[in-house]
Amino acid sequence: MERVPVLKIGDFLLVSIQIDMEDQTALQLQEDLAEKIVVTGCHGVIIDISALDIVDSFVGRTLATIASVSRVLDAETVVVGMRPAVAITLVELGLSLPGIRTALNVELAIEMLARTRTEAEMLLGDDDEDEADQAAVTTP
């Protein structure tokens, strides 16, 4: 069985699927990605499917599961390089791929994930400051 390589680029993991995704390969990728997210602490996963001519229902569901698992592990997922025929097939199969954002290419996906991360950090930072301000005001 072939494995899909998972590369770390900054705070992101990049998966470029260059082989036909058989069911076992998709399941192995799901396990490998979850492990890599935990080990690296990365906050974004980019899955490049530009080499895939077709995505069946099992692979589509596996992509959705990968996004859900990643989100639970504090990493967002972006799928890039989706061909029109693949998008049409997913819609026809009724697979909306919840939790998966898409981008046209890897560069746009990196920008999207970086922007999302910055916004999240700003929100967390604002909450921490508000709590500190409240604590300072209520302390006798």
The structural domains of the chain, with segments of one domain joined by +, span 6-104
pLDDT tens track for 56-110: 889 889 999 999 999 999 999 999 999 999 999 888 888 877 778 999 999 999 9
User: What's the CA angle centered on 6, arms 69 and 8, to 5 degrees?
Assistant: 95
79 half-sphere exposure, CB direction, 13 A CA radius: 24
Check if the beta carbon of residue 114 is closer than 8 Å to that of residue 56. Answer: no
Check if the beta carbon of residue 43 is closer than 8 Å to that of residue 117. Answer: yes
* Mean pLDDT along residues 104-122: 89
End-to-end CA distance of the chain: 66
pLDDT at position 126? 54
pLDDT cut 70: percent of the chain above it:
89
C-alpha 21/C-alpha 24 separation (Å) is 8
Q: CATH number for the 6-104 domain, one of 3.40.1710.10, 2.40.128.20, 3.30.750.24, 2.60.120.10? A: 3.30.750.24
Measured in residues, the chain has a length of: 140
Check if the beta carbon of residue 17 is closer than 8 Å to that of residue 4. Answer: yes
